[in-house]
Amino acid sequence: MYRRPLPRSGAAGSIDIALDLQRRAWAAARATPGLAALSLLLGFAIWVAVSDLQNPTRVEVFPASIPVELVGLDPALAITTSLQRVQVTVSAPDNRWQRLTSENLRAYIDMSGVEAREQMLPVQVDVRGIAGVNVTRTSPPSVLVNVEPVTSKRVPVVPGYRGAPPLGYEVTGTTPSQAQVTVSGATSLVERVMEAAAEVNVSGLTVELVDTVPLVARGDEGTVIPNVRLDPESVRVQVKIVQSTLRRQVPLQATYAGEPASGFRVASVSSQPSAATLEGSIEALQGLDSWVLPAVDVAGANETVTRILRVTPPRGVTTPAVLDVTVTVEIQPIVGTARFAVPIVMQGGSPSARLSPAATLVTLAGSLSTLNAIQPSDIKARVEVGSGASGTQQLPVIVDPPANTRVVVVQPDTASVTIPAASPSPSPQ
């Protein structure tokens, strides 16, 4: 006895059942020819069922909005409104959905026979280049369109530019190839158009340029007027670029000439102001790292020299105003050292006290001219002895240097002071 296997579950089970029904139908059709038509119908139903299981139909909103076109508009009419884009809901098998693109969908408004007035018009959507796809809904289904008679007029071409040339260059003029163009469109829009703007990009431009640029219809305060046509749509614009004068802060370099008096030196040279503003071409200014001022004469000077100079700028550049510069050359004595043997004087104590050593070596620092004029007698060295018992004590050597000098080294810097014991008084006879 033949036993039919149990059907599988899910989509596979449904297919098994459908195939089993088909086999039975064909067997019955062979036994009963009158059932042939029924078998065909059952086969078609099975094919539809299997196809729907393997490739289900999707009804979804297409992810991209579709632009709306105008079809059949009378050339004597124009619209004043900007057409919005629409969203469409599409029904299609899954494999068609995967192939569907925006190029397959065309949204349009049929303007045939439309009169000049404001009206709501339906949006129609056609499917192109792919079968089995249907548009079930359009959002919005209609749009408001304002239709007016077409008019035209002449408007001036106004050249301009955006961006900026490099530092050191400037735009001196923009000239269009023609002074006027024709603007046409809906009457209310054309009336608002005041000019056709021709804007050139001059970013990085250093030489004269002739460029073809698109025209933009503009109204009051530069507002863009849409949905009008300019004839021609573009013009050639000549842009003139010249090298401009720049300003730059340049440090001032003060200098001196000659040598100070013997025993003196130049400690510093400065100017006030320390920098100045120069004007000139970019090439002239790029070659100036500093502005060297005329030298101030310090020959034989033994003190700081200050001069006010009215200076002339370097060749190829200028200053915004007359420039007076104060130059200061600081003169200082040359510092040196000298050593002197100086006797030590004992102050205080007993006349019988003994001092050792009797002299010390003193090293002084000061200007060479001052040191050369010092005699050993100009330096005072001493020890201060207080009252006290007899014996030997080490006392510091105190040095009083001459004016404008300072003590560097005292060697030795101590001295021994010996105070003898007092002689005993003689015994009475």
Question: β-strand 209-218 against 391-396: which pairing, if any?
Answer: unpaired
Q: What is the CATH number of the domain that holds 287?
A: 2.170.120.40
Do 353 and 402 sit in the same domain of this protein?
yes
- Residue 271 belongs to a domain: yes
Q: Vertex 268, ends 267 and 271: CA angle to 5°?
A: 160
**Contact (CB, 8 A) for 135 and 125:** yes
Residues of the chain with pLDDT under 70: 1-19, 21-22, 24-55, 388-389, 422-429
- Residue 101 belongs to a domain: yes
Which of 333, 356, 373 represents a domain boundary (last residue)?
333
The pLDDT, as a whole number, for residue 32 is: 64
**Contact (CB, 8 A) for 360 and 412:** yes
Which of 117, 140, 163 represents a domain boundary (last residue)?
140
Do 95 and 120 sit in the same domain of this protein?
yes
The pLDDT, as a whole number, for residue 164 is: 87
Do 251 and 317 sit in the same domain of this protein?
yes
Do 229 and 275 sit in the same domain of this protein?
no
Do 360 and 317 sit in the same domain of this protein?
no
- Residue 408 belongs to a domain: yes
Question: With helix as H, strand as E and coil as C, how does the chain read?
Answer: CCCCCCCCCHHHHHHHHHHHHHHHHHHHHHHCHHHHHHHHHHHHHHHHHHHHHHCCEEEEECCCCECEEEECCCCCEEECCCCCCEEEEEEEEHHHHCCCCHHHEEEEEECCCCCCCEEEEECEEEECCCCCCEEEEEECCEEEEEEEEEEEEEEEEEEEEECCCCCCEEEEEEEECCCEEEEEEEHHHHHHCCEEEEEEECCCCCCCEEEEEEEEEECHHHCECCCEEEECCEEEEEEEEEECCEEEEEEEECCEECCCCCCEEEEEEEEECCEEEEEECHHHHHCCCCEECCCEECCCCCCCEEEEEECCCCCCEECCCCCEEEEEEEEEECEEEEEEEEEEEEECCCCCCEEECCEEEEEEEEEHHHHHCCCHHHCEEEEECCCCCCEEEEEECEEECCCCEEEEEEECCEEEEEECCCCCCCCCC
Model pLDDT for residues 32-44, shown as the tens digit of each residue: 665 555 555 555 5
Question: β-strand 180-186 against 195-201: which pairing, if any?
Answer: unpaired
Work out how many domains the chain is built from and give that number.
5
Q: What is the CATH number of the domain that holds 104?
A: 2.170.120.30
The total number of residues shown for the chain amounts to: 429
- Residue 41 belongs to a domain: yes
Which of 140, 162, 178 represents a domain boundary (last residue)?
140
The pLDDT, as a whole number, for residue 349 is: 76
- Residue 216 belongs to a domain: yes
- Residue 326 belongs to a domain: yes
The pLDDT, as a whole number, for residue 186 is: 92
- Residue 425 belongs to a domain: no
Residue-range definition of the domain harbouring residue 106: 60-140
Whole-model pTM over 0.85: no
Do 74 and 44 sit in the same domain of this protein?
no
Do 158 and 227 sit in the same domain of this protein?
yes
Do 307 and 355 sit in the same domain of this protein?
no
Do 155 and 198 sit in the same domain of this protein?
yes
The pLDDT, as a whole number, for residue 169 is: 81
Do 351 and 304 sit in the same domain of this protein?
no
- Residue 424 belongs to a domain: no
Do 215 and 252 sit in the same domain of this protein?
no
Do 297 and 326 sit in the same domain of this protein?
yes
The pLDDT, as a whole number, for residue 30 is: 66
